[in-house]
Structures are given as C-alpha cells and as structure tokens.
Amino acid sequence: MCLCVLKLHTGIIYERPMIDIATARKLALSFEGAIELPHFDKTSFRINKKIFATMDIKNKRVCLLLSLIDQSVFCEVDKSIIYPVPNKWGKKGATFVELQMVRKDIFRDALTTAYCRVAPKKLANLYLPDGEDS
C-alpha cells in the first residue's frame, strides 16, 4: 500500500493510504455488471453502456459522473482532492477525484454514488443503504 504524506497548515505531518490505479480499477469493477472500456485516451467504467467513471492513468485521477447535489456534498470533503471538472461537464456533475490524496472510504462512497446514479434500479439497490432510493 502506498502512503500519502501530508503537511497541514498547523505544521503537523501525517500519512494516509492513497488509492493506486489498480485499487481504483478493482473498486470500479466490483459493482455488479460493471465493465471497463476505452474512452478516447482514458479508461471508462460502465454499466449497461452508461459511463459512471473514467480514469486518467497518467494523471492518477478519476472523473465521476455525479448529480450536482452529490457533487457539492463530496466536494465539501476537500476541494483540492474532489472538485468539479473545470468546464461545462463540471457544471453537469462531472467531478475529478485525485487518487493520490483521497481516502479509500471516501473514494468508494463517491464511486458507489456515481454507479448507482446510472445503474438499473435493481442493481443500484444492491449498494444503497436500506431505505434509500436511486
């Protein structure tokens, strides 16, 4: 496992696990029916031909397709780690996640949210907490 060393504005230095490309791929493909296909110069993860994430291997970054509400919630974690794509797609919910800095649990939650947004209801319900609706 790789570690990201962070220095806070208070001067405190700490380490936290970061997500590598293999882990991001494994998490994306762990969803029922998810497949990996090329998408221009990126890798995409899809369910029923609908993209829920793309991965930029060179920049170690994933782009998730979230609702605007979900985007605003996840961006509150840390805008240097999770932030809207700086173009028209970002205004529609496309959200970058910096793999070298994001915590695995936060990434998994954001990825699950993106998957459930485009997956058929029957599949999305496998991953939603009881009582939530996709």
pLDDT at 132: 61
CB of 71 closer than 8 Å to CB of 62: no
Measured between alpha carbons, how far is 129 from 56 in angstroms, rounded to an integer?
A: 29
**pLDDT tens per residue, range 60-92:** 999 999 999 999 999 999 999 999 999 999 999
- The CATH number of 19-124 is 3.90.1150.30
Closest CA to 19 of 72, 76, 97: 97
Measured between alpha carbons, how far is 68 from 130 in angstroms, rounded to an integer?
A: 23
Whole-model pTM?
A: 0.85
SS3 57: coil
CB of 95 closer than 8 Å to CB of 74: yes
